Structure 1
Amino acid sequence: MDKTWWKESVVYQIYPRSFCDSNGDGIGDLKGITGKLDYLKELGVDVIWLSPVYESPNDDNGYDISDYQAIMKDFGTMEDFDRMLSQIHERGMKLVMDLVVNHTSDEHPWFVESRKGKENPYRDYYIWKDPVKGGAPNNWGSCFGGSAWEKDEKSGEYYLHLFSVKQPDLNWENEAVRREVYRMMNWWLDKGVDGFRMDVISLISKDPAYPDGPAGLNSYAAFNFCANGPRVHEFLQEMRREVLDGRDTLTVGECSGVTLEEALKYASLDGKELNMVFQFEHMDLDFDENGNKWTDRKCKLSQLKEILSRWQAGLYKKAWNSLFWCNHDQPRVVSRLGNDSAQYREVSAKMLAVCSHMMQGTPYIYQGEELGMTNAPFADISDFRDLDSINAYRELTEKGIFSREEMLGYLRYKSRDNARTPMQWEDSENAGFSTGKPWIMVNPNYHEINAKEQVGREDSVFSFYKELVALRKERPIIVYGDYRLLEPESEELFIYERGLEKERLLVACNFTGKELAWELPEEMKGRRPELVIANYPDAQWADTLMLRAYEAVVWEWTLD
């Protein structure tokens, strides 16, 4: 398997609004990020993925872009960006930008022109349709609730918005749109950025017939129904030719609704499209049977293992994996899959890190994950800022599907705002994030959970992540080895083996709060393996492994 830097890297995602505020206005900014680069260098990460910092009305926290080549004033200036990029490169790290080109803001000059009339040259930059039977062109739902179509009273036509009504979808069938996108991408690469994370890139090609989806289609099903359209691979191959060929970049596509079969096209090692994709099968396991994410369900471990293992095996030597539990759209993993109690928070956070980072693929760390940050105790709907959460609360309580208390409980468990509370730097006011009033509540547990307390403490979650990151640079088996799942039916243990030539790794993770026994397979008994990493200080090897609550341990040996 060809060795490349982006396979061997660890990526750290920064959500700039919540990372570090340098000027006391309560909003994180580019100068704040620059001031914390030594922290990321200490952690050992190779690449920073920066969520959008472009000019935006901020309807969807910056994912509604009104100018792709300007910086949102909340975050600073282009000079601030250039200095940050220079400082990142000086420390030997790389910067990946968020590319949001399925849609723009309705305040983007293209859309302002587009809605002026049917004859406007920018009309075809977006997807406009005549009404059908006096209503929306089809039954597609917006990901943020309600119809995906908005009627323009002036023309009588509808425009498509798979997300907010203020995020009209671009018409990728129009070659002029694609040329504009490629020109903009080349501008950023010429500036020195090192790649792109491509937001909902699997949605850019729509079925030209715009058919109705399945009866009773809800918004998330509609979202997936539109994925992997007929020309998406053609468009991405064109992007590769026009922008990426000849440049040494990292490209990762957010591909909701992606199948393993499609991922083999998006992220094939032949290099025709992207380096890797984010798939979300494992993130959707706690949805209900109707595809509704607003639940407090826990996923079954056997299902989680089946999905992750299928992707490990299916992409091996054919395409490349991305490994993640957390991002700006997901709740905190220690509250979702681990145990965020004072007793088990740190040990379960470390266990989840081992489970993910020891698989094949490029690991992604979301800000605060390396501290074991938890979901927040939001008390009222007024505490939330996420458009998706607020819309869902309003829609589902007004329809009587959930009571207000039920819905608040689901939001506390699943809202995207759990990931967006400010980074917890220290135990001073506002967790050291800002000297002003933060744009969203600070999790009150910052007194116990913060970077200042953890950096330098040998048994902290931070130190454990630092060790995991370093291991990838020392042991090629972690990056390039094959994968074999053991105990697939267990609802308590996640155990797998990695292999590269004669080297073997055994990764054993206990997903429960109780001690469990696991008898080694015969071929492993009698060996004298080396302990690679463990989240308890006294891990013991034996023919029957005793795994304590949320214990994770990795052993290595060489075949005879």
Structure 2
Amino acid sequence: MYKRLISLLLLAVVSFNFCGLGALAQTYVRQGVNSYSPNYDSLVPKKLEASMKNAILHIYGKEKVDVIYPQIVKIIKRAKFQRSPELYEDDLKRDSDWYKEEVIYMFYPDQFGVDETGKPATFKTLIGMLDYLKDLGVTTIYILPFADSPMGDSGFDVRDPKNVRADLGGMSEFEEFMCAARQKGFKIKADLILNHFSDQHEWFQQALKGDINKLHYFIAREDMPEYRQYKDEKLGYMVEYKEKDGTISRRRLIFPEITDNHYRKVTIKGKDYYVYHTFYPFQLDVNWENPQVLYYMLDSVAFWANMGIDIFRMDAIPYLSKEEGTSAENLPKTHYVIQLISAFLQTVAPRSVIQAEACQQPKKILPYFGAEKKVEHNIKNNLKEITRTDEVQIAYHFPYMPAIWASLVTADNSYFWKAYKNTPKIPDSAAWAMFLRVHDELTLEMVNEKTRELLYDGLAPKGAAFRKGYGISGRLASFLDKNPDRIGMAFSILLSLPGVPIIYYGDEIGMPNNYANAKKTAKIREQKQKSQGKKNNTKMLSYFDSRDINRGPIKQKVFYDAMKNTETYNHKVYKRVQKLIRVRKQYPIITRGSFTEIKTESPEVFAYVRALNDERVVVINNLSNDKIKATVVFTDDDFGKKSKDVYLKDLLTDKMIRARAQSKKLTVRLNPYDAMWLKL
């Protein structure tokens, strides 16, 4: 027996370079080997134990703490027992806030780098894209949903959260990809979809067959409340429900084009039930007040943490709690659920962190970071202190996206600065995630009516309306008229602002909207829902999702041609983005430095200073299509009263730039849509 175990270990070292030990550890558990079991006397750090117990108390009640916590400890023991030496080593070595250094690249696994026939990619073929990503310079790969799914919502409708879609090559190809990515130094980000499951999930299918107990794993009721739909100028389309106790539940309707309320009727054994859904009718919200849901979800988190996921993007984070008489957004119990998950993850996988996905104003996002805590971990008998927030560590800053776009559309920096001034200070270890475009719409919910109109008028003709005017679908390049200079300047903003930048696949080579993909996807969605809808009593008002124009397949050849072929538009965009990433990584002042607004003499000049220790870099972006003299005004008299020429190094071109300096003012010449990062 021991000879066989030694052979297995040698095989892992040679074949996997430790990449596959997360899965291999499970084999060891089945064979009863405890070669790297943790010290169970220090299984859970005291502060994390207290956090979990407090969360259990507030979610399930005091009487449940001594019942639920021991069950969680069992999951923790199993997870730590199955954790590989490679991951334990990372737990020990990583800085608390390692994520602040990252440049994230996101893609759909079946759409990124498809072959010449257009056949969807698999994890095996995705290995062929790693050299491209390495050359681009990104550091973390964000793979959009890849768990087993019937693909009604691009993978966000999960059928089996501990399995990989067969069309992507299944678990074996996923592990092969993970190994190859790790060998090239990439970190991995993945979705953690905890608000809802597909109606094809085994729980719901068992409920439909008569297991009413499984219906309690979802938000289900026996009566359909009275409701009315109305429009809120700030929040968009709403539904108001009159509850039995007389309270009113006012809920945002996320997809007003698809459905007119939040309930789906099902009939089981001749009796009608109404099951709640925040999103599509085939995405049914789970019941977090059922402890069985909690155990199942924590086991899934541990599984993927032991597979090597570095960042978990927690999808639809504000909606976890659904108390009657509320908006079902940002409720106190939701925060306790997140605290519980965060403490659990920090216990089983200290190297990993959570990112919040919540389309909310920053003041509402701030509580999702929670409190910053120093926690002492015992990692294989080595003590390590980790300082992190006790809910999420990273959060999307949604208002920055429309604010940046408003500044780009109008050539007026004031839109960004207004959003910046409305952004609260976050804990030192926390970070905002920054983005220009993603797979979803450019949301218009969080801007005033005037800004919403100018964005809609300026960008909707270059893309498509979404949520009846409260969002715009479309790709970055289409919005910016496929102008390499303008695209490069937009990326200059993204990659020089404080926060963790996220690049959406294809944007770095200037790919335009894909209308054919939207039509094709709508047809597929219609066919699926018509066949399943009759069986499951699903009603949808429309099958077309305009967000699909900023999705769809891009061939591997297109990416590599953009990387190598110097004569193309795509190459021009690629080289600009690549250079920006390289400079960002080369100068810690960009990732770690302070951020200060600089006053300008004209609105088309968007400028700010990054400072670290005694170093300063001034970033100047020309938002306009004109050659300009850009004058920036510092707060200190840096240059003396006498006007003089100074020469400053532009980090983006490595050239010395002549500028005119006097007192607090610095003036440089910029070409249309130019960007400079000048070292002072």
Q: TM-score range, shorter-chain basis?
A: 0.7 to 0.9
The answer as to whether partners of 1:472 and 1:478 remain within 8 angstroms in 2 is yes
Structure 1 residues 3 and 67, CA gap change in structure 2 (3 angstroms):
closer
Q: Paired residue for 2:496?
A: 358
Structure 1 residues 320 and 210, CA gap change in structure 2 (3 angstroms):
same
The answer to whether 1:152 aligns with 2:266 is yes
Q: Paired residue for 2:212?
A: 120
Task: Give runs of aligned pairs for residues 343-382 of structure 1, distance below 5 A.
Answer: 345-376=483-514, 381=519
Q: CA deviation at 1:424?
A: 4.7
Q: State the one-letter code of the partner of 1:128.
A: A
- SS of 1:20's equivalent? strand
Determine the C-alpha separation between the residues in 1 that align with 2:101 and 2:422.
Answer: 18
Picking from 498, 507, 513, the partner of 2:619 is: 507
Q: Paired residue for 2:575?
A: 463
The answer to whether 1:61 aligns with 2:154 is yes
The answer as to whether partners of 1:196 and 1:250 remain within 8 angstroms in 2 is yes
TM-score (norm 1): 0.77
Determine the C-alpha separation between the residues in 1 that align with 2:487 and 2:404.
Answer: 19
The answer as to whether partners of 1:34 and 1:84 remain within 8 angstroms in 2 is yes
Picking from 633, 646, 649, the partner of 1:530 is: 649
CA deviation map 1:13-64 (0-9, x unaligned): 1211210235956322212211111111111221111111111111101110
- SS of 2:287's equivalent? coil
Q: CA deviation at 1:347?
A: 0.9
Determine the C-alpha separation between the residues in 2 that align with 1:339 and 1:90.
Answer: 38
The answer to whether 1:167 aligns with 2:269 is no
Q: Paired residue for 2:478?
A: 335
Structure 1 residues 41 and 303, CA gap change in structure 2 (3 angstroms):
same
Deviation larger for 450-459 or 49-58: 450-459
Picking from 106, 122, 127, the partner of 1:29 is: 122
Q: CA deviation at 1:459?
A: 7.3
Determine the C-alpha separation between the residues in 2 that align with 1:386 and 1:298.
Answer: 35
Q: Paired residue for 1:187?
A: 303
Q: Paired residue for 2:398?
A: 280
Unaligned runs of 5+ in 2: 1-94, 228-240, 244-248, 374-387, 442-473, 530-541, 661-665
CA deviation map 1:271-308 (0-9, x unaligned): 212221113123456999xxxxxxxx957844541355
Determine the C-alpha separation between the residues in 1 that align with 2:198 and 2:410.
Answer: 35
Greater fraction strand: 2
Determine the C-alpha separation between the residues in 2 that align with 1:3 and 1:201.
Answer: 23
Q: State the one-letter code of the partner of 2:432.
A: N
Structure 1 residues 277 and 539, CA gap change in structure 2 (3 angstroms):
same
- SS of 1:252's equivalent? strand
CA deviation map 1:94-126 (0-9, x unaligned): 112111111100010112234455x72222211
The answer to whether 1:49 aligns with 2:49 is no
- SS of 1:305's equivalent? helix
Q: Paired residue for 2:565?
A: 453
Picking from 98, 109, 121, the partner of 2:191 is: 98
Q: CA deviation at 1:518?
A: 2.2
Deviation larger for 453-462 or 310-319: 453-462
The answer to whether 1:255 aligns with 2:358 is yes
Q: State the one-letter code of the partner of 2:511.
A: M
Q: Paired residue for 1:554?
A: 677
Q: CA deviation at 1:326?
A: 1.8
CA deviation map 1:430-449 (0-9, x unaligned): x89xxxxxxxxxxxxxxxx8
Determine the C-alpha separation between the residues in 2 that align with 1:148 and 1:283.
Answer: 28
Picking from 82, 106, 117, the partner of 1:13 is: 106
Q: State the one-letter code of the partner of 1:26.
A: K
The answer to whether 1:89 aligns with 2:182 is yes
Picking from 316, 326, 329, the partner of 1:227 is: 329
Q: CA deviation at 1:472?
A: 2.8
The answer as to whether partners of 1:189 and 1:195 remain within 8 angstroms in 2 is no
Deviation larger for 35-44 or 368-377: 368-377
The answer as to whether partners of 1:477 and 1:503 remain within 8 angstroms in 2 is yes
CA deviation map 1:294-339 (0-9, x unaligned): xxx9578445413552377623736311111121114322333x33
Q: CA deviation at 1:529?
A: 2.7
Q: State the one-letter code of the partner of 1:165.
A: P
Radius of gyration: which is bigger?
2
Q: CA deviation at 1:265?
A: 3.8
Deviation larger for 3-12 or 297-306: 297-306
Q: Paired residue for 2:467?
A: none
Q: CA deviation at 1:66?
A: 0.4
Q: State the one-letter code of the partner of 1:253.
A: A
CA deviation map 1:478-522 (0-9, x unaligned): 111111123489642321111222211111111221223322326
Structure 1 residues 301 and 319, CA gap change in structure 2 (3 angstroms):
farther
Q: Paired residue for 1:495?
A: 607
Determine the C-alpha separation between the residues in 1 that align with 2:603 and 2:208.
Answer: 54
- SS of 1:35's equivalent? helix
The answer to whether 1:419 aligns with 2:550 is yes
Structure 1 residues 550 and 187, CA gap change in structure 2 (3 angstroms):
same
Determine the C-alpha separation between the residues in 1 that align with 2:614 and 2:294.
Answer: 48
Q: Paired residue for 1:201?
A: 317
The answer as to whether partners of 1:54 and 1:62 remain within 8 angstroms in 2 is yes
Structure 1 residues 25 and 521, CA gap change in structure 2 (3 angstroms):
closer
The answer as to whether partners of 1:11 and 1:363 remain within 8 angstroms in 2 is yes
Determine the C-alpha separation between the residues in 1 that align with 2:430 and 2:404.
Answer: 27
Determine the C-alpha separation between the residues in 2 that align with 1:156 and 1:267.
Answer: 40
Q: State the one-letter code of the partner of 2:495.
A: H
Q: Paired residue for 2:167?
A: 74
Q: Paired residue for 2:437?
A: 326
Q: State the one-letter code of the partner of 1:256.
A: C
- SS of 2:312's equivalent? strand
Q: State the one-letter code of the partner of 2:609.
A: E
- SS of 2:297's equivalent? helix
CA deviation map 1:444-482 (0-9, x unaligned): xxxxx8444369999732222222222233211111111
Q: CA deviation at 1:256?
A: 1.5
The answer as to whether partners of 1:305 and 1:488 remain within 8 angstroms in 2 is no
Q: Paired residue for 2:344?
A: 242
Q: State the one-letter code of the partner of 1:516.
A: I
The answer as to whether partners of 2:109 and 2:123 remain within 8 angstroms in 1 is yes
Q: State the one-letter code of the partner of 1:158.
A: Y
The answer as to whether partners of 1:510 and 1:551 remain within 8 angstroms in 2 is yes
Q: State the one-letter code of the partner of 1:279.
A: H
Deviation larger for 307-316 or 377-386: 377-386
- SS of 1:498's equivalent? strand
TM-score (norm 2): 0.65
Determine the C-alpha separation between the residues in 2 that align with 1:426 and 1:69.
Answer: 32
Determine the C-alpha separation between the residues in 1 that align with 2:116 and 2:514.
Answer: 25
Determine the C-alpha separation between the residues in 2 that align with 1:85 and 1:455.
Answer: 34
Determine the C-alpha separation between the residues in 2 that align with 1:537 and 1:352.
Answer: 21
Determine the C-alpha separation between the residues in 2 that align with 1:307 and 1:318.
Answer: 24
Determine the C-alpha separation between the residues in 1 that align with 2:161 and 2:350.
Answer: 21
Structure 1 residues 513 and 384, CA gap change in structure 2 (3 angstroms):
farther
Q: State the one-letter code of the partner of 2:604.
A: E
Determine the C-alpha separation between the residues in 1 that align with 2:168 and 2:361.
Answer: 33
CA deviation map 1:108-167 (0-9, x unaligned): 0112234455x7222221111243556676563542222121122443231111111100
